[in-house]
Amino acid sequence: MRRRDEMAERFAAVLVNRLVERKFIELRGDATVARTAVRKVVVENLGQEEQIDAEAREILQGHSKEIRDSAADYSRLFNLVKGKLARDRGFIL
């Protein structure tokens, strides 16, 4: 959790700074408000992705015997299941 928050904070700071430097946005006040808003969105997004990851793992665990018996590539199956779950929810990975 802490790492996710730190990553979101760094991402938000860099994004807001670059948008201001390149004149894509103009801040009316302190950049802290903009960084906080971006950070909140990033943390929510990462949380949703973690939920999708957990659900994909759970689905694959339910089929672990078939996966083992078929010698399928777990990481490929994981990415396929995760992608399908994300698409079904309108979530962009």
How wide is the angle at C-alpha 45 spanned by C-alphas 40 and 51, nearest 5°?
130
Per-residue pLDDT tens for 31-78?
Answer: 999 999 999 999 999 999 999 999 999 999 998 888 888 888 889 999
Indicate the DSSP class of residue 50. H
Structure tokens at 38: 């971006």
> Domain coordinates of the chain in residue numbers?
2-89
State residue 26's pLDDT score.
93
